[in-house]
Amino acid sequence: MAALAASCKGSSRSAPVPPPPPPAGPAQVRRGPQIAQPAESSVIIAWLSNQPAVGSVEYVESLGNSAEVFEGAPASEHVIRLAGLKENTLYHYRLLHDGVVASEGHFFKTAPADPAAPLRCAVFGDSGSGTAAQLAVAAQVKISDPDLVLITGDVIYNVGAPHELDPAYFIPYRELIDRIPFYPSLGNHDVATAGGQPLLDALYLPRNNYTETEHYYSFDRGSVAHFIALDSNEDTTMGQPQWLWLDEDLAKAKSAGARWIFAYFHHPPYSSSSHGSSLDRRRNLGPLFDQFHVDFVFNGHDHDYERTYPLAAEEVVNADQEPDYTDPQGTVYIVTGGGGRDLYFSGLSDFTAVSESVHHHLQVDVRADKVEITAVRSDGSVLDRMSVAKTH
């Protein structure tokens, strides 16, 4: 390209110079904002604009002074990290392009500094195709008002393509992602385009596995909860990179004193619906969940709700305590694939405590001594509730 430009410069008959583009109007927000990686004193705010601009975020504590963080150069993808924030504090913010206000007001709350502070998360999967059911579930998630959201895959129907991201995710969840961090895992539909890269490129997830990709990762919320997102589209066999990382991550979490461990991924080790149990994920991952006593595993793929009794070594344990358990000796597996896509039938197996074919989300309340899970239908009614208490 440089050689071509040089030869043109020397020509006596230069090409006509194109007229300059008409002056552009102010840049508009094209997607977002979304928040990511919230901590006690920092948060990431990210969005896209329809043309390059110098982005900034103006933010204000409810009763404090305002501040503004600027980018150094014009861009269309804006990623701004606010730091030096106060813990457990509500902040209002708005976006600016080239110093001009470009968004309405948004808000977020920083994480509490108390490592034992209670936490609420919402969980669902198989959500993303812009259906009325997806919006109905999203409205119930908004009412739950969680601190964070986990998604058990199939976030972007049909094939995880770039043009599907807005109708499947950023538009349906726009009133949530501006203040609540979402942590998706990848389903089979998400990875149908470039292995899921379009979705991962649009998010700002933790990168703490060996490959530093966002395909699988973990994060903590204080000492109360450790969350692990796996990519069950990838090989989960013992000795493979993801299995090795999971083994190490679980060992680290246990030695760090994580009170509760939650793992989530798309293909269910235990399901009585259309796809049924994924026996290879059960065989590959189940022994690790048993060894490290993972408390809960959330999955999707089957578009229904199904909760198991606690399971250890593939056997039901402590079923006599249903639905309020104390120190159970097994892992509770929940299929929560009713996030908005067409439903499948729900079935029953020996391991099934409750199942129902219905659009829903999970509301998971985590305290140091107890986790309570409420499954909420898209009409707001409660379809299931259970709890697990730990006495030591």
**Judged by CB, which is closer to Fe ion: 36, or 334?**
334
Interaction of residue 233 with Fe ion, rule CB under 5 A:
no
Among 215, 281, 282, 301, binds Fe ion (CB under 5 A): 301
**Judged by CB, which is closer to Fe ion: 179, or 359?**
359
Tell me the C-alpha distance between 278 and 284, whole Å: 10
Tell me the C-alpha distance between 337 and 124, whole Å: 6
Interaction of residue 188 with Fe ion, rule CB under 5 A:
yes
Interaction of residue 303 with Fe ion, rule CB under 5 A:
no
Interaction of residue 178 with Fe ion, rule CB under 5 A:
no
Residue type, 141: V
Write down the least CB distance from residue 301 to Fe ion, Å.
4
Cis peptide before 323 (omega within 30 of 0): yes
The footprint of Fe ion on residues 122-161 (CB under 5 A) is 154
Determine how β-strand 90-97 pairs with β-strand 106-109.
Answer: antiparallel
Token pair in block for residue 50? 């329809």
Write down the least CB distance from residue 187 to Fe ion, Å.
4
Q: Are 359 and 136 in contact (CB under 8 A)?
A: yes
Q: Are 146 and 111 in contact (CB under 8 A)?
A: no
Q: Are 206 and 37 in contact (CB under 8 A)?
A: yes
Return the sign of the alpha-carbon dihedral for residues 283, 285, 288, 293: negative
**Judged by CB, which is closer to Fe ion: 82, or 137?**
137
Tell me the C-alpha distance between 204 and 166, whole Å: 16
Write down the least CB distance from residue 192 to Fe ion, Å.
10
**Judged by CB, which is closer to Fe ion: 155, or 353?**
155
Interaction of residue 307 with Fe ion, rule CB under 5 A:
no
Interaction of residue 58 with Fe ion, rule CB under 5 A:
no
Among 125, 146, 160, 187, binds Fe ion (CB under 5 A): 187
**Judged by CB, which is closer to Fe ion: 128, or 330?**
128
Q: What does the binding site for Fe ion look like in residue numbers (CB under 5 A)? A: 154, 187-188, 301
